Structure 1
Amino acid sequence: MFARVVLVLFLPLCFAKSADVTFKNVTFRGYSLYTEKFKKTIQSSNSLIDHLPETPFDKIEFIDQDIPVLYKGSLADLDDLDELTMENCGISEIQPGALKNVPGLRRLSLKGNKIEEIKEGVFNDLDISTLDLSLNLIKTIHSNAFNDMPNLLNIQLADNQIDRWDKNWFKNTPLLTRVSMQNNSISSLPNDAFKNLVGKKQFGKLKLTINLVLSYNKINKIEPKAFSGLTEINNLWLDNNQLEEFEDGLLEGVDVKDLRLNKNNIRCLDGDLSKIIKAETTHLDSNPFDCECLGNIKEWAKENDKLIEIFFSDMDCSAQRIKTKLVALEKRLKEIKDQDNDIEVAEGKPSTYPLK
């Protein structure tokens, strides 16, 4: 009977879910106006707020700690927090609800962790202006993961494993003007890729202009209406991709300040150059240009007072022209030598050149 009672009491303990604990023997620092105010270690807890001192602070920093999962509620109710940094902490998962009731949070850095997926409900409705998720292992981002972020200005997603662009990202992010997605594996940009970035952007009286950084991806295809709806782009960086062409209708209706197409696989720009080379500066260098085509581009840019960057490509074509002239000169010299030899043989004179 006693054994049966013990078993009945023990079974619930076996099947009970262990409490989620985010912080286990981790150390963090608090700052106010860039000055360190405190340093504390949490032995075991799922709530950061329970371990904060009365000392005023505006920034919390976790660096090089071991925090595999940010569980629901772990970073909740931090009313006075302006900046939160959790870098190189081995974070692999962020549960929806981990960040909750953080009304003053302006900057969030989760750089250098091991995050593989961004779920819906993690960042939605946060008032942050800068989100840094660079140098993670992100491959999957839910279509709604970055929606409803009314104050988001800058998102950093560089150095991840993202292989597709989702045109449904960034709905209701009216201030978003910088998307940094370099060093990923994106292969194409779909039609209406940036539809949720369309519209006038202004912060107070300051006019904001979109910056799209897509350098060092694997982009080989841009659909004809990829940039549809956009009217102005400050920096459009598509360098170090795998583009073989850039159609003349891609930027129809879009004013661009700086366009980078350097280090792709472009051999020629076909079509109406006035619709392609329309930026204040267009970087075309280090593409495998057909030299005749490059010459036409140079001439057109000069006639239309457009700034293009083609230094190394131009040098390659100059080197090819010099090589062609040298080969032709060598051929001509050989012909002259052969003619001299033929004349001397006909006149019975000893040849000054060895016959080959």
Structure 2
Amino acid sequence: MQLFILLIISGLASCKSGIFDNVSVYVRGLDKTVEDTILIEFDDSLAPHLQHKPSEIITIKDQFIPKLDTNSVANLTTVQNLTLARNGIRDILRGAFQNLPNLKVLNLSGNAIEEIRIGIFNELPMEDLFLDNNKISRIGYKAFSHMTLKKLFLQNNKISRWSKDWFADSSVSRLDLSFNLIEDLPPNSFHLMSKPVNDSMSLIFTGNQLKKINNDVFNGVERFQRIFLDGNLIDRLSPGTFNGVKHINVLNLNNNSLYDLNSDVLKSTQVDILMLEDNKLRCLSTDIFRMEELDIDGNPITCFCVKSWLAWRDIHSNPSIYHITNLEQECI
């Protein structure tokens, strides 16, 4: 009987597992001269295995970690760059990341995360957060609020709705939501993100399902480095779409269904580069020609329109910037 009980206990011990179960952790110092690989056989926390190790850079990828529990990745006081990519992570509980005072980059790309709850990331001091190529469809109220984030990557997920409250008092200057399922952007979508000290903001909504961009969507942010709305279903822009925006370096509207672009849409906004390739435009008013570069290939521009452009070009300086050489040749 004693032998039988001993065998049971032994069997239970051999089946013991934790959040980190036979997981290899690659650690490295910032100077890249000191590095090591640690095997965690079973444990719920990283910290005990990284004591007295060069741990400014930690990488765990291409392994099996189904979830991150409270304190799973906590008390790593020296880590600056933490990668947990392609590990099959489905769920992250509140408090999984705590006491990471020097964290700058957190990479959770290529997992199976479905929801971002409030409190998971809010107190982290990081600048770059990678959540791309997951299965995120739900984002909690103020999930990215009160953060020092500069870059947030959420591309290739399943996000279908936008909430400005996600970013209350945030400092995101580059937001990538390309290849999601977003259909609509409400007025003042980004004004809660207008408090960073950066000079301008970049928004990337490539490959969503946006059809119409309403008035005042971008109101509250004066300067944008880039607004990418290409690869959507946009057929028109309301005259007040860019109300409050003074300058956009690059506005990308390629590969949509625009059949018209009223000159009033950009009347009070300086755009340096306007990209309109592969839409349904038959003409553009010369009143809109105030940018440094206009790309308009792949539109069914009429020869009547081209001739009006040529007449405008003859009386204005720097006539070659509007990329109409091919259209001019076709209409001669």
Tell me which interval the TM-score lies in, with the shorter structure as reference length: 0.7 to 0.9
Matched position secondary structure for 1:188: coil
| Pairwise CA distance, 1:163 | 0.4
Give the counterpart letter for 1:168 in structure 2: D
Kindly report which structure 2 residues correspond to 1:67-216, keeping only aligned pairs within 5 A, or say none: 67-149=65-147, 151-173=148-170, 175-199=171-195, 201-202=196-197, 207-216=198-207
Q: What amino acid is aligned across from residue 87 of structure 1 in structure 2?
A: A
Cα distance in 2 between the residues matched to 1:55 and 1:283: 50
Cα-to-partner distance string for 1:111-160 (whole Å, 9 max, x where unaligned): 000000001110011100000000000000002211121x2110000110
Aligned-residue offset at 1:54: 1.5
The letter for the 2-side match of 1:251 is F
Distance in 1 between the 2:131 and 2:199 partners? 22
**Contact 2:199–2:223 (8 Å) recurs in 1:** no
Write the distance in 1 (CA, Å) between the matches of 2:33 and 2:76.
19
Kept in 2, the 8 Å contact 1:111–1:133? The answer is: yes
Question: In 2, are the aligned partners of 1:87 and 1:109 still within 8 Å (CA)?
Answer: yes
Task: Please tell me whether the aligned partners of residues 167 and 194 of structure 1 are also in contact (alpha carbons under 8 angstroms).
Answer: yes
Report the alpha carbon displacement of residue 50 of structure 1 after superposing the two structures with TM: 1.0
Please state if 1:263 is matched with 2:258: no
Q: 2:27 aligns with which of 13, 18, 30?
A: 30
Partner amino acid, structure 1, of 2:221: L
Q: What stretches of structure 2 of length at least 5 have no aligned partner? A: 1-15, 307-332
Q: Deviations over 1:48-86 (max 9, x none)?
A: 011114232311100101000101011111101111001
In structure 1, C-alpha distance between the alignment counterparts of 2:37 and 2:154, rounded to whole Å = 30
Give yes or no for contact 1:110–1:134 (8 Å, CA) kept in 2.
yes
Q: Does 1:284 align with 2:276?
A: yes
CA shift for structure 1 position 252: 2.1
Greater CA drift, 217-226 or 232-241: 217-226
Contact 2:74/2:97 (8 A) holds in 1: yes
What one-letter code is carried by the residue in structure 2 that aligns with 1:237? Answer: F
Within the candidate set 241, 252, 255, 2:243 is matched to 252
Displacement of 1:307: 2.5
Report if aligned partners of 2:205, 2:229 keep a CA contact under 8 Å in 1.
Answer: yes
Identity %: 30
Q: Residue in 2 aligned with 1:226?
A: 217
The code of the aligned residue for 1:275 comes to: K
1:179–1:211 contact (8 Å) kept in structure 2: yes
Alpha carbons 2:47, 2:74 under 8 Å: kept: yes
Structure 1 gap segments, 5+ residues each: 1-18, 322-356
Give, as a single letter, the amino acid of the residue that structure 2 aligns with 1:283: M
Offset of 1:40 from its aligned partner? 1.0
Contact 1:61 1:86 (8 Å CA) reproduced: yes
Tell me if structure 1 keeps the 8 A contact 2:128–2:152: yes
- Residue 58 (str. 1) matches residue 44 (str. 2): no
- Deviation for aligned residue 1:247: 1.6
Match of 2:11 in 1: none
Whole-angstrom distance in 1 between the partners of 2:232 and 2:251: 13
Q: Which amino acid aligns with 2:254?
A: N
How far did 1:309 drift?
0.7
Number of residue-to-residue matches in the alignment: 289
Tell me, yes or no, if structure 1 residue 311 matches structure 2 residue 297: yes
Task: Give the counterpart letter for 1:32 in structure 2.
Answer: G
For residues 23-50 of structure 1, the C-alpha deviation after alignment (integer angstroms, 9 at most, x for no partner) is 1111110011245611011111001011
**Greater per-residue helix proportion:** 1
Give secondary structure in 2 for the equivalent of 1:258.
strand
Q: Secondary structure at the match of 2:84?
A: strand
TM-score with structure 1 length normalisation? 0.76
Equivalent AA in structure 2 for residue 234 of structure 1: Q
Residue number in structure 2 paired with 1:237: 228
Deviations 1:170-207 (A, max 9, x none): 1121x3201110010000001121121123x32xxxx4
CA change 1:230–1:41 in 2 (3 A) is same
TM-score of the superposition, structure 2-length normalised?
Answer: 0.81
Moved more, 277-286 or 133-142: 277-286
Q: Distance in 1 between matches of 2:299 and 2:29?
A: 51
- 1:275 aligned to 2:272? no
Indicate if the aligned counterparts of 1:262 and 1:287 stay in contact, CA closer than 8 A.
yes
**SS at 1:311 equivalent:** coil
Instruction: List, as ranges, runs of 4+ consecutive aligned residues in structure 1 with deviation greater than 3 Å.
Output: 299-302
Distance change >3 Å, CA 103–CA 20, structure 1 → 2: farther
Aligned to 1:325: none
Preserved contact between residue 242 and residue 265 of structure 2 (Cα < 8 Å):
no
1: CA distance between counterparts of 2:37 and 2:51? 10
